[in-house]
Amino acid sequence: MNALLESLEPQTIWSYFLALSKIPRGSKNEAEAAAWVADQAKALGCEVERDEVGNVIIRKRATAGKEGRPTVCLQAHVDMVCEQNEGTGHDFLKDPIQVWKDGDLLRAKGTTLGADNGIGVAAALAVLASQDIAHGPIEVLITIDEETGLTGANGLQPAKLKAKFLLNLDSEEEGYLTIGCAGGVDTIASRKLTRVAPPAGSRAYRLKVFGLKGGHSGIDINAGRGNAIRLLAQVLGFLKPEFGLSLASIKGGNKRNAIPREASAMIFMDPSREQAFREALALHEAHWRAALGAFDPGLHLALEAGEAAQPMSGTDADALIQLLLALPHGVEAMSPDIKGLVQTSTNLGVIETREDVVEVNLLTRSSIDASKAALSDRIAATCALAGFDSQTSGGYPGWKPEPEASLVRIVNDANQAVFGKPLEIMAIHAGLECGLIGEKYAGMEMVSFGPSMWDVHTPDEHVSVPSVGNFWKLLVAVLETV
């Protein structure tokens, strides 16, 4: 047993989590990790099935005398968001996550930790391994590609599960029980580019925005954090005409469901104006730092040497900058029914420039389908006005809260029995797989809970070790009660 594992409780969960952390499992690259989960379940004597899209479905027999209990499904996703700080040099296709303990917290060195949703997967495996829990029949559903398209949940066939109750293990705040979530839809805006020669005597530079917190585009969208893509567009919008800049490319963000922390533009400029540009850049940095304030104090703007490239035409550059300034980002509307809950939002998540095309990716969320559709239509209209084509994809439904469902009472009562207090019942503005699963299994009751973790989808992701212990106690209590 390694020293890190010796310092962690409950060790069964952490043993599985640390083993899983050694396997690359970015979204759409999680096949090896899913196979590992299946192998662990087979070694424990469970029935294991892989469905058509790659989900792992596991069944464990009830404890003797509990065969008549309702079947409970434990559900988590095996993939993780792959984000790293610039200069970390981590290869998410082959390198293990470097996990370390910081007091009562677990973190990763320069990358996302993968506690979202590796802790849920590890907890499900720990239940399968346990000989001490008196439970009814158990199913485990480990889905693939949750983070970039909900592919696993979307491809799940209606006849695969038999459970009456589903416990989604993908929540991120101890003491809360999630009973509803937002739906979402992706938009990709694109424009063909015309390339031109660099201005005579100009030099290539790279303009960078970095140091922002980023965050989960659902959970953190109302936290006042900066969007690196939008900030870069603001700066370019001011400085391009003043300094006669030519724009070759913009790149920013990595995932449509993560608020972009970093963005950069390849530009051409008269080198005799470099010092004046740096002075103007410093003023913009001070301006936007003041605007963001304590919400996101780490903003930096920088100019460095660029690489040889062909600029896009001035018409294309102006259209792109104007589109980035016009597209929505952030909260569109708050819920009138649930205090503090974001109802509708958009995340301006990713921009990528290739040789002949530029693409911008947005994720729109709402708990109201009509609001989601209306905002998606407005984005499409904005793209058309800027001369961009747009396509929507990946739409998924929300999960309607059912506060009077029997499973809500069962889990709440279990928490009261274990910790002497009720859970806070809530809905969230993030997407959970419960919406898609519930659409396929209309009679299935569902809730979601988990340990406390913060800054998921960013390299600052960290999880509370004691909270994982409490999460385990509640999970065991629910399985022994239901």
* Residues identified as active-site: 79, 146
List the structure tokens of 145: 């590609």
Who's near 417: CB < 8 A, 6+ residues apart? 477, 481
Cα 100 to Cα 18, 86, 108, 293, 460, distances in angstroms: 10, 19, 6, 30, 12
Give the span between the Cα atoms of 211 and 458, in whole angstroms: 12
Contact assessment for residue 212 and residue 228, using Cβ atoms and an 8 Å cutoff: yes
Cα angle for residues 342, 345, 351 (degrees, 5° grid): 145
Who's near 314: CB < 8 A, 6+ residues apart? 246
Give the span between the Cα atoms of 70 and 261, in whole angstroms: 45
Preceding amide of 412 cis, omega within 30: no
Cα 236 to Cα 201, 245, 256, 277, 290, distances in angstroms: 21, 9, 22, 11, 18
100: part of which helix (H) or strand (E)?
strand 99-102
SS3 54: coil
Contact assessment for residue 134 and residue 16, using Cβ atoms and an 8 Å cutoff: no
Sign, CA dihedral 297-360-147-93, equals negative
Give the span between the Cα atoms of 83 and 99, in whole angstroms: 14
Give the span between the Cα atoms of 471 and 183, in whole angstroms: 26
Give the span between the Cα atoms of 444 and 434, in whole angstroms: 10
DSSP conformational letter for 198? P
Contact assessment for residue 183 and residue 427, using Cβ atoms and an 8 Å cutoff: no
Starting at the edge strand that comes first in sequence, how are the strands of the sheet with 105-108 ordered?
99-102, 105-108, 462-464, 453-454
Cα 269 to Cα 53, 108, 153, 247, distances in angstroms: 49, 39, 49, 9
Sign, CA dihedral 341-343-348-349, equals positive
Who's near 298: CB < 8 A, 6+ residues apart? 211, 212, 213
Helix 31-43 vs helix 115-129: angle between axes, to the nearest 10 degrees?
Answer: 20
Alpha helices in 25-161 (DSSP H): 31-43, 115-129, 151-155
